Amino acid sequence: MPETAAPVVAFRFLYVVCGGPFSTYDRRFIERKRQLRRLLGRRRSRIFYLDHVEKDGKLLFEEIVKMDLEGMVCKRQNLAYRVTEKPSPYWIRVKNPRYSGAEGREELFERV
Higher-scoring residue by pLDDT: 17, 8 = 8
Look at the pTM and tell me if it is higher than 0.85: no
* Residue 66: predicted pLDDT: 94
The answer to whether residues 45 and 80 belong to one domain is no
Tens of pLDDT along 55-73? 888 999 999 999 998 898 8
d(CA 7, CA 65): 23
Do residues 112 and 86 make contact, with C-beta atoms less than 8 angstroms apart? yes
The answer to whether residues 60 and 93 belong to one domain is yes
**3-class SS of residue 34:** helix
pLDDT, averaged across the chain:
75
Do residues 79 and 31 make contact, with C-beta atoms less than 8 angstroms apart? no
Residue 30 reports pLDDT greater than 80: yes
Q: Residue 73 belongs to what domain range?
A: 53-112
Residue 2 reports pLDDT greater than 70: no
* Residue 1: predicted pLDDT: 43
The answer to whether residues 60 and 70 belong to one domain is yes
The answer to whether residues 16 and 58 belong to one domain is no
Q: How many domains does the chain have?
A: 2
* Residue 78: predicted pLDDT: 82
